[in-house]
Structure 1
């Protein structure tokens, strides 16, 4: 079934200021204030703050993993794409377990971007993904992260080990010479080469309001510009938005609203845009690097929280992009069919408590 849906290119936006008032656009709420709690059915990524955390999992930067550890994570990530779906029975273009996350992320696109819940909602989704890798694909490790500041500081993002075809996720998309829509610029090396997707359109129609079968696509630096031979120029991958210098003022913010706004609109969005292809639209969980990228965004937030104990409860802003509904830490986060239990923002404020129980190496 082909669903006509707006794929909003949120990740092409850049921050213009540091105050929460710069949040643009309009949309619906990402959370439900005062919602009744549903009956609790055990599920991966389920909430319920508090509880003990005596042996937190350690999330490592990709380069800190051994080659066998890298291979094991990639194996589990591929596995999740091969498992049949268990949710969204009426949505035919949702075909596997990963599609369930992609579809949810897309459907809630205006509810989870440029709103207060951006950071806690994606923290929950990362934990759900990690739990699914463990419970359904036998993964024993933790979710790794990609510290893109290392590659940006070296001015060599395109040459990052994350894109290695043997020990990483493969490189840039290549022009295939195909005339078939959706298969003109594909990832052709690495473990995700020749991966076909049903949600979204792929390169170059990432903004088109529809879905079609297409290959996993990347278009480094958004595929803008060609050399004298017509070959796309990669450029610097917009490193000025996510190198170490760009993060210094983000860590210096005292208010959650300023941190969240600039973190989302500059480094977060520019990494999406610099990889482009399937990483660009809000079906971005199609791209396996989505989870390592967002783990790094989560790490930055956790590191900022750790600099001041009061920040574990520092949460404010608005539930909607129209900035009409104030946000509160007790707000309920929407998860659609992914959970049969209710979760709140507060459940996901502390990475070393309750259902979370993880830390980062740096």
Structure 2
């Protein structure tokens, strides 16, 4: 057995070297997965897939696993947020959740919600419909009374799932696909990418839904996992743009401002950071539909799958943004300024915010609406994070305000260029 392990390690090491990948000590012995699942956008799940996922989540709830994940996250939140542990911890955390669900059904994969597509009017997303994740809370306790968790009683203190949209019956604008594309192209280090994502789209979604999502026991809201799977998808894509240098790139500091290394353990575990950094190896036996598509699997994405209810595709969004003035492209989209760029650093997808759930079996014909000309040059500013949230997350208020200003500068530049986002409806 010992000889076999050494031989396997040497084989994997050869694979790494062939890929010209910078591999930290120990990572060469992490085995290749025998089977790799694909995490999909929630709107692409068939009725059978959605029912299987819902049933597994319900079983996990009945066995108190949802409470456990909420409790555990609340215990370690102070040291995993606002530090380099943020992305790698949550990758491992989500994987543990997926493992629990697969104990009930081995074919279940946790989907992601591409909420950037819904950035202008998140509350109107079909994902928050009564058949899926439910909507805003109601009544004195702001209880969610529909969707996956509409009847749940949760940690702490056996209470309902709570949501309190941050704009009454609506949710303030989130960060757009245009902004996230800019982050993907401008972030050259792990520390930069982590900070930019954690303090923009990550925080905006938590605070937009609010209620339990605005607390450190937020995994009790089923949106949490779909949201963080989406964050992990962005991280995986950022890695895959330059796999030789980014797969094991891990810089920045921990919660005590100590420089991090890939030999550090994931908070609360004995798992070294390097063991969760490469998809398809060790316990990370999954990939994303977007990554499969980028590697030539044209059937991987719902947006590339003909669905009889979708009569007309959404506009070619990358072609639209490529028409921006050269100075704007160079400042906010350095890859586009040089050419088409890598597909995995481009979140300007063709999925529409109006796209129906595949699980609804295309009950009605869907026609992707044309861009709303009344919205030309009127992209809204994303909602900023309050000081108390920033401090709770362990981030610097001044640094987050600088990040937000850069986001506002991007929106202003696009509006001054009379840019019309295809996601403005």
Task: Tell me which of 317, 329, 350 is aligned to 2:252.
Answer: 317
Go from structure 1 to structure 2 and tell me whether the alpha carbon gap of 1:69 and 1:76 turns closer, same or farther (over 3 Å shift).
same
Query: Does the 8 Å CA contact 1:330/1:345 hold for their aligned counterparts?
Result: yes
Task: Tell me which of 237, 250, 256 is aligned to 1:303.
Answer: 237
Go from structure 1 to structure 2 and tell me whether the alpha carbon gap of 1:50 and 1:194 turns closer, same or farther (over 3 Å shift).
same
1:141, CA displacement in angstroms? 2.0
State the 4+ residue runs in structure 1 displaced beyond 6 angstroms. Answer: none
Q: Secondary structure at the match of 1:196?
A: coil
Go from structure 1 to structure 2 and tell me whether the alpha carbon gap of 1:101 and 1:71 turns closer, same or farther (over 3 Å shift).
same
1:49, CA displacement in angstroms? 6.4
Give 2:100's aligned residue: 132
Query: Does the 8 Å CA contact 2:121/2:170 hold for their aligned counterparts?
Result: no
Task: Tell me which of 23, 35, 38 is aligned to 1:58.
Answer: 38
Q: Secondary structure at the match of 2:287?
A: strand
The total of aligned residue pairs comes to 262
> What runs of 5+ residues in structure 2 fail to find an aligned partner?
1-26, 291-425
Q: Secondary structure at the match of 1:58?
A: strand
Distance 1:288 1:49 in 2: 35
Distance 1:256 1:198 in 2: 34
Q: Describe how 1:231-242 pairs up with structure 2 within 5 A.
A: 232-235=168-171, 237-239=172-174, 242=175
1:196, CA displacement in angstroms? 1.4
Task: Tell me which of 205, 228, 238 is aligned to 1:294.
Answer: 228
Q: Secondary structure at the match of 1:105?
A: helix
Give 2:260's aligned residue: 327
The structure where strand makes up a greater share of residues is: 1
Distance 1:250 1:301 in 2: 11
Distance 1:106 1:112 in 2: 10
Task: Tell me which of 157, 161, 164 is aligned to 1:219.
Answer: 164
Query: Does the 8 Å CA contact 2:233/2:288 hold for their aligned counterparts?
Result: yes
Query: Does the 8 Å CA contact 2:122/2:173 hold for their aligned counterparts?
Result: no
1:302, CA displacement in angstroms? 0.3
Query: Does the 8 Å CA contact 1:186/1:218 hold for their aligned counterparts?
Result: yes
Go from structure 1 to structure 2 and tell me whether the alpha carbon gap of 1:48 and 1:112 turns closer, same or farther (over 3 Å shift).
farther
TM-score by length of 2: 0.59
Query: Does the 8 Å CA contact 2:265/2:273 hold for their aligned counterparts?
Result: yes
Go from structure 1 to structure 2 and tell me whether the alpha carbon gap of 1:355 and 1:52 turns closer, same or farther (over 3 Å shift).
same
Task: Tell me which of 59, 72, 84 is aligned to 1:79.
Answer: 59
Distance 1:297 1:238 in 2: 18
Distance 1:250 1:51 in 2: 32
Confirm whether residue 359 of structure 1 aligns to residue 327 of structure 2: no
Distance 1:163 1:68 in 2: 19
Cα RMSD (Å) = 1.8
Deviations 1:118-162 (A, max 9, x none): 000000000000000011x2252211101111212xx23112121
Query: Does the 8 Å CA contact 2:137/2:162 hold for their aligned counterparts?
Result: yes
Distance 1:216 1:49 in 2: 42
The structure where helix makes up a greater share of residues is: 2
Q: Describe how 1:93-112 pairs up with structure 2 within 5 A.
A: 96-112=64-80
Q: Describe how 1:58-207 pairs up with structure 2 within 5 A.
A: 58-83=38-63, 96-135=64-103, 137-152=104-119, 155-166=120-131, 168-174=132-138, 176=139, 178=140, 184-199=141-156
Give 1:29's aligned residue: none
Query: Does the 8 Å CA contact 1:61/1:145 hold for their aligned counterparts?
Result: yes
Q: Secondary structure at the match of 1:214?
A: coil
Higher normalized contact order (CA 8 Å, seq sep 6+, divided by chain length): 1
1:54, CA displacement in angstroms? 4.7
Larger Rg: 2
Deviations 1:220-258 (A, max 9, x none): 2x2x4xxxxxxx3414x332xx21122022101111110
Distance 1:243 1:103 in 2: 31
Give 1:270's aligned residue: 204
